[in-house]
Structure 1
């Protein structure tokens, strides 16, 4: 069943040449505003000059699919090194760690951050200790997150950083992001200050505990943040591992320079549904939206690409990750409206993306099922039409039409197909970024309201 379960890690997405931009729609829609007083997940004030530079949305520990996954057992007398690419630079750096889905307090014995070298290596001279309330170690209660003190590590947009955590004591099950599409490294013993790669002889394709990297100081304080929100297409499934070719990465490359540089962070979770929780694929999109999007420091805009997993995954038995019922177009539209209302209440620009074609992938592609009830394709079409024409989103990226095969509009264009007829490959991800960039304030034609994305 692993192949079937993995193939449910879908997200609406597409790309090519077509852009469908509706005017900053509704009269009376809230204008994005500069955030002021805000607290993070620990209740500590967020400094207005801190900006999200990288993020991963966390979920419950589970064994994962196909590659070594360390979350069920966790870590004990082991060092974990994770390499991430930041969307915005600055003069100081801090990290955010999560034990949100742990079953006990965990103690981080020590941590460092530095500029990444090749593989698990760190560039000599760049390693900096991380402290927490001025202490080298920190205990994170079950269900909590914590942010480090600022480290004097300067960065530039698109720099890769290595964040290293040492756990002397057993952590128990580890809060994780299963589909990192990037290599994490593990070594025995305390290797947090080692810059070489040799000791890190174990690898995984997931992220553990690390949920955010933030920067401050110029240029970070001049950058707004765009959050890409969705499921596996946003998460990057189907793109080349360790290549930073996910669509949010491609978008970051487009938005990190020019007259309005922006940081782009990725809040996708493979398999995530808009309306239903899962013990493997995270809380429902409508539930996690505040935490994973609106609580990001410096957020100015969000791109929503969600709903396909609800459609193709609804009504199946529980394979061990939870189950959900068949959904209607009206239910999904109501979920999208909840996101729109929530974003507008916080002054955040919200861009809707239509769901990509699913023909030949998982599920029923027919207009109706055997009982005459609208089938998966009919629901997808109805929701996409609402996203295109309702005017409720501030702007629309019509990825469905852009990524469709010209010979069969219900199927994914072969040039963009990663091979499963659901997830775009590297070329598809790049095309998505080209469509989304001008809608959130990129270097090119831009809606007037995107001017306020800059902090």
Structure 2
């Protein structure tokens, strides 16, 4: 194994990674891409990746009034997930839903921070390492829903604050500056922003997804980032998304 924590400490870690998150993780694309590359290029690693995202979920326990049901909170299912999977590492990606698509507020930000600290404490209490990933950016030009100004009376995932990405920027910046709050913190936001900027320079109408959820190309950017940061893969040896998609298709034929 050549994972970062093994190199630093020479302490074996159970080769099971549990992925927690909202609908972006529930879709599972970036996890499947990562696993497909590992099977092809690190066949002796024997690392098992377990997707366990839940749509609409938060780490903060918050929910907007217009949501059709109270948003689920990871803390309500965490014990069961840890007991069932018994991971050596837990990778968690939260934040997109935690600002509940409203303008920034200290109260919501504090709830997010408290939820992250509690998540880390409970995972470490179960004997697992913790990897935190910044939330992907919110991309207004890709939204199909109506965007609202800060003066609007209320907001939701259907009618988000038009500058909601500023909220996610603050959440991501806090995570990246949080030091040893986790065993590793991975910046997914920056490579996704760079990807969208690059494609939009070629095609101003480019959609990175639906504004909230990255498209398949975005998920590949996330997978490449994980491969580089978690598994030490050099960018030059990671093939493009078409090669990985083809290998996944061949496995299901």
TM range (shorter): 0.5 to 0.7
Asked if 1:340 is matched to 2:125, the reply is no
SS at match of 2:20: strand
- Structure 1 partner of 2:171: 383
- Kindly tell me: are residues 298 and 408 of structure 1, through their superposed partners in 2, closer, same or farther at Cα, counting changes over 3 Å? same
- Structure 2 partner of 1:11: none
Calculate the TM-score normalised by the size of structure 2. Answer: 0.65
- Kindly tell me: are residues 288 and 262 of structure 1, through their superposed partners in 2, closer, same or farther at Cα, counting changes over 3 Å? same
- Structure 2 partner of 1:250: 33
Cα deviation digits, residues 256-304 of structure 1 (max 9, x gap): 4433221111111111122237885863012222222x22334111111
Asked if 1:311 is matched to 2:99, the reply is yes
Structure 2 residue runs of 5 or longer lacking an equivalent are 6-10, 154-160, 235-253
Calculate the TM-score normalised by the size of structure 1. Answer: 0.38
Shift of 1:407: 7.2
Query: Any conservation in 2 of the 1:358–1:365 contact (CA below 8 Å)?
Result: no
SS at match of 2:85: coil
Query: Any conservation in 2 of the 1:354–1:387 contact (CA below 8 Å)?
Result: yes
- Structure 2 partner of 1:267: 52
Query: Any conservation in 2 of the 1:286–1:339 contact (CA below 8 Å)?
Result: yes
Structure 1 residue runs of 5 or longer lacking an equivalent are 1-22, 25-30, 35-223, 237-244, 316-324, 446-455
- Structure 2 partner of 1:291: 80
Give 1:403's match in structure 2, choosing from 187, 192, 195. Answer: 192
Alignment of 1:3-22 (within 5 A): none
The answer to which structure has the higher helix fraction is 2
- Kindly tell me: are residues 345 and 32 of structure 1, through their superposed partners in 2, closer, same or farther at Cα, counting changes over 3 Å? farther
Q: How well do the aligned residues superpose, as a CA RMSD in angstroms?
A: 3.8
Shift of 1:332: 0.6
SS at match of 2:88: strand
Asked if 1:358 is matched to 2:138, the reply is yes
Alignment of 1:47-446 (within 5 A): 224-236=15-27, 246-256=29-39, 257-276=42-61, 283-292=72-81, 294-313=82-101, 328-360=108-140, 361=143, 376-391=164-179, 392-404=181-193, 405-406=196-197, 417-418=208-209, 420-440=210-230, 442=231, 444=233
Answer with 1 or 2: which has the greater Rg.
Answer: 1
Larger RCO of the pair (alpha carbons < 8 Å, separation 6+):
1
- Kindly tell me: are residues 417 and 348 of structure 1, through their superposed partners in 2, closer, same or farther at Cα, counting changes over 3 Å? same
Shift of 1:364: 6.0
Distance, in Å, in 1 between the alignment partners of 2:192 and 2:208 is: 9
Shift of 1:376: 3.6
Query: Any conservation in 2 of the 1:311–1:326 contact (CA below 8 Å)?
Result: no
Shift of 1:352: 1.1
Cα deviation digits, residues 121-161 of structure 1 (max 9, x gap): xxxxxxxxxxxxxxxxxxxxxxxxxxxxxxxxxxxxxxxxx
Shift of 1:234: 0.7
Shift of 1:436: 1.3
